[in-house]
Amino acid sequence: MDFSGAQRGAHAEEYADAIISITPGFAGLSKEAQAAERRNLIIEAEEAEVGCEVHFWRYADHVKKTHSLVPPELSNTFEKSLRELLSPKTISERFDSVILALERRKIGLAGGSAVR
């Protein structure tokens, strides 16, 4: 899942709020301890998102090296498309256009031969 910078921050804060809401005794902590715990939970969420991105790129590299899904001559196109899809600067119309281009050429799709 891709998040813009603002969405990442909001997601991390929502995660912290959700965990806090189900943590018994949280309200009994001092204000300083509550703030420190909330900061730690936000960091935890942000680190998990980075981990997801690393996992995504490892899998994308595996797909790119599977020539039945991505012919070698289209591997740069595939990677460039993924980077554009994940860029926080990509607007929804461009995102849809990139997806359609990948689908049209069947790049990275199981069960279809890529159109060169």
Mark whether 11 and 44 lie in a shared domain.
Answer: yes
Mark whether 72 and 51 lie in a shared domain.
Answer: no
pLDDT band at 1 (very low <50, low <70, confident <90, very high): very low
Average pLDDT rounded to a whole number, residues 44-69? 85
pTM to 2 decimal places: 0.55
Answer whether residue 4 shows pLDDT above 80. no
Mark whether 100 and 112 lie in a shared domain.
Answer: yes
> How confident is the model over 81-108, as pLDDT tens digits?
999 988 888 888 999 999 999 988 888 7
Structural domain boundaries enclosing 22 = 1-65
Of the candidates 16, 24, 71, the residue with the CA atom closest to the CA atom of residue 44: 16
8-state DSSP, 112 = S
Q: What is the pLDDT of residue 81?
A: 94
Output the average pLDDT for the chain. Answer: 85
Q: What is the pLDDT of residue 105?
A: 87
Mark whether 56 and 72 lie in a shared domain.
Answer: no
User: What share of the chain in percent tops pLDDT 90?
Assistant: 47
Q: Which residue has the higher pLDDT, 10 or 94?
A: 94
Mark whether 60 and 95 lie in a shared domain.
Answer: no
Distances (CA, A) of 51 to 54, 56, 65, 108: 5, 9, 21, 22
Q: What's the rounded Cα separation, in Å, for the pair 82 and 59?
A: 12
Mark whether 48 and 75 lie in a shared domain.
Answer: no
